[in-house]
């Protein structure tokens, strides 16, 4: 009985800690903005469906959190990169079909029957799918000129012939990926569209009718010129960055902000240096705020002595080197105290610390900032 009593006491303590535990850092994901972006992208062409790309932890927003927001809208399918990501959605009881676009080790396909669709471009995987994942759905991935994964267009006929003779696989889709979506005068774009049309013709010759045909991503949807071309040869697009509100279209709304708190405040004198290697030296007496967040959490190291965070309604410069778990900021002239919230990354495109402006400071693309947000940081849907 004593053991039982201790067990229940421990259980109640754990529940209490879970309820009251306050995280140092958090990522807030706007449900309203994500839904708004999805509906807006869907409205651009009613004949072309939207399949959200939620790979790489939902571009940092949280793969499960994003899926749960969009799942009730019943998109055609969610696009993920790996079997691991697909399992995460399965464990979360997501009902929307899932397309695994990346490579899956064939050995992992032998374990048990899976309810997923697969991008297919090699015969070895086709053989394993046929044997261990009978009646699964596949999307034939064609390399139209990006020269990464995919069946080269000039080998597509032979590939389809072998698939048809050797295996019983349901071809649900034809897909490719664009290297560029700058417009119809872009030679790279033109060449890929030409090759995709060849692939469509080959499918027609083999009398293969697919439910889904897709090549376009965010850029191809947002650009009216490319959108028109894409809509003539496909019935689905795969938005990633645009879905999360990070594109040129002003009707799209960013969905993420990264929040931390001031862990310590200290005064330093003129001439004193801050952080590793003393890369920042105070030009006057300065008030420093210490933040419990660093490059382990996704604060890019390139922001050292260049980036900004927002405290209340003011932008505070990052001073000294961003380290693994700590970032220091100049809060001189601000009536701040320990525990005050600090917005590291803003969901306002115009802010100095928006994802896009942060990427520019770091001379990177927004994707790099987003996908480096630590999975261990708590995501909260607001």
Pair 264, 320 in one domain:
yes
* Boundaries of domain holding 235: 31-244
Mean pLDDT (whole number) for 352-379: 97
User: 137: domain CATH number?
Assistant: 3.20.20.10
Q: State yes or no: pLDDT of 214 exceeds 80.
A: yes
Pair 233, 276 in one domain:
no
Are 262 and 343 spatial neighbours (Cβ–Cβ below 8 Å)? no
Q: In the prediction, which pLDDT does 18 show?
A: 61
Pair 229, 307 in one domain:
no
pLDDT in tens, 126-142: 999 999 999 899 999 99
Give the integer Cα–Cα distance in Å for 56 and 85.
Answer: 8
Pair 192, 269 in one domain:
no
Pair 360, 231 in one domain:
no
Asked whether residue 8 is assigned to any structural domain, the reply reads: no
pLDDT in tens, 279-318: 999 999 999 999 999 999 999 999 999 999 999 999 999 9
Of 216, 244, 272, the residue at which a domain comes to its end is: 244
pTM: 0.92
Asked whether residue 26 is assigned to any structural domain, the reply reads: no
Q: In the prediction, which pLDDT does 15 show?
A: 64
Buried/exposed code over 167-191 (b: 16+ C-beta within 10 A; e: otherwise): eebebbbbbbbbebbeeeebeebee
Buried/exposed code over 321-330 (b: 16+ C-beta within 10 A; e: otherwise): bbbeebbbbb
Of 244, 279, 298, the residue at which a domain comes to its end is: 244
Number of residues that make up the chain: 382
Pair 191, 334 in one domain:
no
Pair 290, 320 in one domain:
yes
pLDDT band at 22 (very low <50, low <70, confident <90, very high): confident
Pick the range with the lowest mean pLDDT from 13-22, 85-94, 120-129, 362-371: 13-22
Mean pLDDT (whole number) for 143-149: 96
Question: How many Å separate Cα 80 from the centre of its chain?
Answer: 9
Other Cβ atoms within 10 Å of 363 Cβ, number: 8
Q: State yes or no: pLDDT of 87 exceeds 70.
A: yes
Pair 42, 152 in one domain:
yes
pLDDT band at 23 (very low <50, low <70, confident <90, very high): confident
Pair 207, 327 in one domain:
no
Asked whether residue 188 is assigned to any structural domain, the reply reads: yes
Of 202, 220, 244, the residue at which a domain comes to its end is: 244
Structure tokens at 106: 């064939």
Structure tokens at 69: 């927001």
User: 369: domain CATH number?
Assistant: 2.40.37.10
Pair 215, 266 in one domain:
no
pLDDT in tens, 41-68: 999 998 999 999 999 999 999 999 999 9
Structure tokens at 377: 């940081």
| SS3 assignment, position 47 | coil
Q: In the prediction, which pLDDT does 20 show?
A: 63
Asked whether residue 4 is assigned to any structural domain, the reply reads: no
DSSP 133: S
Asked whether residue 23 is assigned to any structural domain, the reply reads: no
Structure tokens at 19: 């309820």
Give the rounded percent of residues in the chain with a pLDDT score beyond 70. 95
Pair 127, 158 in one domain:
yes
Pair 322, 360 in one domain:
yes
Asked whether residue 87 is assigned to any structural domain, the reply reads: yes
The count of structural domains within the chain is 2
| SS3 assignment, position 211 | coil
pLDDT in tens, 152-206: 999 999 999 999 888 889 999 999 999 998 777 889 999 999 999 999 999 999 9
Asked whether residue 12 is assigned to any structural domain, the reply reads: no
Pick the range with the lowest mean pLDDT from 19-33, 140-154, 300-314, 348-362: 19-33
Asked whether residue 5 is assigned to any structural domain, the reply reads: no
């Amino acid at each position: 009985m004593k053991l039982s009593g201790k067990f229940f006491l421990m259980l109640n303590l754990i529940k209490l800690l879970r309820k009251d535990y306050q995280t140092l850092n958090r990522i807030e994901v706007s449900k309203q903005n994500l839904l708004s972006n999805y509906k807006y992208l869907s409205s651009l062409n009613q004949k072309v469906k939207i399949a959200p790309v939620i790979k790489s932890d939902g571009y940092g927003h949280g793969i499960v959190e994003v899926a749960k927001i969009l799942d009730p809208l019943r998109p055609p399918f969610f696009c993920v990169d790996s079997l691991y990501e697909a399992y995460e959605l399965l464990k979360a009881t997501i009902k929307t079909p899932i397309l695994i676009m990346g490579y899956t080790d064939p050995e992992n396909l032998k374990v048990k029957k899976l309810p997923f669709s697969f991008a297919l471009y090699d015969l070895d995987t086709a053989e394993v799918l046929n044997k261990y994942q009978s009646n699964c759905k596949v999307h034939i991935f064609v390399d139209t000129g990006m020269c990464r994964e995919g069946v080269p267009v000039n080998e597509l006929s032979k590939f389809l012939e072998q698939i048809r003779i050797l295996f019983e696989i349901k071809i649900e889709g034809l897909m490719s990926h664009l290297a560029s979506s700058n417009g119809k005068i872009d030679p790279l774009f033109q060449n890929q569209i030409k090759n995709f049309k060849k692939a469509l013709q080959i499918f027609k010759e083999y009398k293969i009718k697919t439910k889904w045909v897709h090549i376009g991503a965010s850029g191809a949807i947002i650009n009216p010129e490319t959108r028109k071309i894409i809509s003539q040869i496909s019935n689905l697009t795969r938005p990633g960055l645009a879905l999360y509100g990070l594109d040129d279209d002003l009707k799209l709304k960013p969905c993420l902000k990264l929040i931390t708190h001031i862990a310590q405040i200290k005064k330093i004198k003129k001439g004193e240096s801050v952080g590793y290697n003393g890369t920042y030296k105070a030009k006057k007496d300065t008030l420093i705020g210490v933040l419990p967040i660093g490059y382990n959490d996704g604060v890019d190291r390139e922001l050292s002595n260049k980036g900004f965070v927002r405290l209340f309604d003011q932008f505070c410069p990052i001073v000294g080197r961003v380290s693994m778990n700590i970032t220091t900021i100049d809060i001189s002239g601000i009536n701040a105290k320990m525990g005050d919230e600090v917005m590291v990354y803003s969901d306002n495109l115009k802010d100095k610390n928006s994802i896009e402006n942060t990427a520019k400071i770091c001379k990177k693309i927004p994707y790099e900032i987003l996908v480096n947000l630590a999975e261990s940081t708590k995501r909260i849907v607001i």
